[in-house]
Amino acid sequence: MAAIQHYDVICIGGGSGLTAAYYAQQDGKSVALVDDRPDQLGGTCVNRGCIPTKGLIQAADVMRTIRRAEEFGIHLDQSSVRVDFQAVLDTVRRRREESAASVRRWVEGAFEPWYGRAHFVDDKVLEMEDGRQLSAERIFIAAGARPLIPPIDGLEEAGFLTNESVIFDLDEQPEHLIVLGGGYIGCEFAHFFSALGTRVTVIDNSPCLLGEDDEVRTLFTQEFGKQVELLLPAQASEAVVREGQRGFIVSTEDGERTVLGDQILVATGRRPNTDGLALEKTGVELNDRGFVVVDEGLRTTHPDIYAYGDVIGQGMFKHTSSYEGELAYRNAQGAALTVDYSANPHAVFADPQIGAVGLTERDCREKGLDYVVARKDYADVAKGKIVGAPPGFAKLLVEKNTDRILGFHMIGPQAADLIHEVVVAMNASGATAELVRRSIHVHPTLSELVRQVFDDTA
C-alpha cells in the first residue's frame, strides 16, 4: 500500500469546507480538500441552493411586478406576457456552471484536491475509493446535507423532484406542481413556479407555513394562500399515480382526499452527509439525527477534528457556515472563540419576503424574558404608501430596563435587506435599541419603517 500523504489541514466538503481551507491556505498551511463532486465545487450554495434558486426568484419577482403594474397606472396587455420557461432555466444553469467552474479553478490553484468519496480508517486517516490515504494535524468536517425524504408509501414509485435533483433540469414547465413541505425551500420554489403560471399546491402538517415569529408566519400564510393552494394542516399518507398524474392521498381536518398533479417536489427538511464517513473510527459523536456533535468552539469529541455548516444542524445557511468555518479554523490554531447565533439573520425569498434576526416573541416567553414589543406596518411610512402599502410590518422585541435588542422581524418588500442595520446594532457593544433610534434615515425610504418601530420602544 502507498504511503499515507500528510497535510497540515484536511477539509471534507467542497462547499462550506472552502472557508476553513481558505484561511489555512492564507496561513501558508498545506491543505487537502476532499470532495466527491468535482463538477459541483462550491457545494449547495453555488450549485443547488442560494445562487441558482435566487436566479429563479428574480424571474418570479419580475413577473409579480408585471402582474401588479396596473396598481401604479401602468396598463399592459397581460395576455401578451409570455413566460419562456426554458430561457429562465437556461440563464440560471449558465450562471451556475460559470460559478462552479470559477470555484474549481480557484480550488485547483490554491489547494490539493482529492476527488471522490472518502471515509475514516483510523484516528485521523482518510481513505479514498481508490485506496489512497491521507492524514492531517487538523481536520474540518463540512460535508453538508441533502434532502430528507419522508418514508411515504409509494413515493419512490411515483417519482419526485427535490431542490437537488432534477428541479433545475426540467424540460418543460409543470402545469400543476405539488409541494410537500411548507418550509423556506418549499415556499421559495412554490413562489417561483406559481409566479410563472404553474398551479401550485402546498401540503404541510402545520396550520401555518414556515417557522417564523407567530405573527409573521400567520400573515405569510394568509398572503401566500392567495397565490397557491394550501392544504394545512395535512398529512400525506401515501403517494399515488393515476392516469399519468402523480400525487398524494392526504388526510386533513375535513377528511381524506387525493391531490394529483404532473410533478411532485419534496421539501421536507435536510439530513446530514455523515453516513459513509465511518466517523466511529475517530470517536467523533453524532446525535440521534446524524448531525455531528460539537462544542461552543465547533470542536467535535475528537480534539483535532472540527465540524461546521449544515453537517452540525444549526443554522443551515451559507452565511452561517462561513461564519462558523472561520471561527472553527481560528480555534484550531489556538484561539478560544465561542459561536454566537443570537444575531444570525435569515431570510425567506418568497412573496411576501421575510427577513429576521434574533428571538421570536415565542422564544422570549419561553425564556421568561421581560420584554416590550413594537410593530409598524409598511403603510405607516411614506415610502410604504408609495410602493402600494403592501400587507406587511416590522416587529421589534426589546428587553425592558436594559433596552437590549432581542429580535427583529420583517415581512414585506425588501425585508431581507432592511434587517441588516439591526444585525449590526445587535453585534455592537451593548446591542441597545438606542443605536438605531439615534441614526438618521433617508426620507422617503423603507428604512424609515425600521427607525419608527425602534422609536416606539423608547
Q: Tell me the HSE value of 365 on the side-chain side, using a 13 A CA sphere.
A: 6
3-state SS, residue 46:
helix
CA distance 53 to 92: 8
Residue 283 amino acid letter: G
Q: Which residue has the cell 419608527?
A: 452
pLDDT value of position 1: 56
Q: Distance (Å, rounded) from C-alpha 60 to C-alpha 196? A: 6
> Domains of the chain: which residue ranges?
5-147+271-332, 155-268, 352-455
pLDDT value of position 164: 83
CA gap 56, 196 in Å, rounded? 10
pLDDT attached to residue 107:
95
What residues contact residue 432 under an 8 Å CB cut-off, 6+ apart?
402, 403, 404, 405, 425
- For residue 413, say if its preceding peptide bond is cis, omega within 30 degrees of 0: no
Q: What is the pLDDT along the chain (458 residues), one digit of tens a residue?
A: 578 999 999 999 999 999 999 999 999 999 999 999 999 999 999 998 999 999 999 999 999 999 999 999 999 999 999 999 999 999 999 999 999 999 999 999 999 999 999 999 999 999 999 999 999 999 999 999 999 999 999 999 999 999 887 678 888 999 999 999 999 999 999 999 999 999 999 999 999 999 999 999 999 999 999 999 999 999 999 999 999 999 999 999 989 999 999 999 999 999 999 999 999 999 999 999 999 999 999 999 999 999 999 999 998 999 999 999 999 999 999 999 999 999 999 999 999 999 999 999 999 999 999 999 999 999 999 999 999 999 999 999 999 999 999 999 999 999 999 999 999 999 998 899 999 999 999 999 999 999 999 999 98
Could you write out the DSSP letters of every residue in 150-168? P--BTHHHH--B-TTTGGG
What pTM does this model have?
0.95
Q: How far is CA 329 from CA 21, 35, 110, 135, in A?
A: 9, 19, 17, 17
Rounded CA separation 257/327 (Å): 50
What class is the 155-268 domain?
Answer: alpha beta
Q: How many distinct helices (H) and strands (E) make up the chain?
A: 14, 21
Catalytic residue among 6, 119, 176, 443: 443
- Establish whether 443 is a catalytic residue: yes
Give alpha helix (H) positions in 163-263: 184-195, 214-224
| Residue 207 exposure: Cα atoms within 13 Å on the Cβ side | 3
What's the pLDDT score for residue 231?
A: 97
For the chain, how many residues are written?
A: 458
- Report the half-sphere exposure of 262 (CA within 13 A, side-chain side): 8
Q: Within 10 A of 172 (CB to CB), how many other CB atoms are there?
A: 9
Q: Does domain 5-147+271-332 have CATH number 3.40.50.970?
A: no
> What is the longest distance spanned by two Cα atoms in the chain?
75
Distance CA 108, CA 96 (A): 18
Q: Are 130 and 119 in contact (CB under 8 A)?
A: no
- Residue 428 falls in which region: left (phi positive, over 0), alpha (psi -120 to 50) or beta: beta
Question: Would you say the CATH fold of 155-268 matches that of 5-147+271-332?
Answer: yes
Residue 50 · residue 164 · CB < 8 Å: no
Strands 5-12 and 133-141: parallel
Quick check: 339 and 357 in contact, CB under 8 A? no
Which residue, chain included where needed, has cell 490554531? Answer: 333
- In our burial notation (b when 16+ CB lie closer than 10 A, e otherwise), range 208-225 reads bbbebbebbbebbbebbe
Residue 162's pLDDT is what? 94
Q: Hey, what's the cell of 55?
A: 436566479
- In terms of phi and psi (left: phi > 0; alpha: psi -120 to 50; beta: otherwise), the region of 278 is left
CATH number of 352-455: 3.30.450.20, 3.80.10.10, 3.40.50.720, 3.30.390.30? 3.30.390.30
CA distances (Å), origin 60, targets 64, 69, 193, 351, 435: 6, 14, 8, 9, 36
Phi-psi region of 394 (alpha: psi -120 to 50; beta: other; left: phi over 0): beta
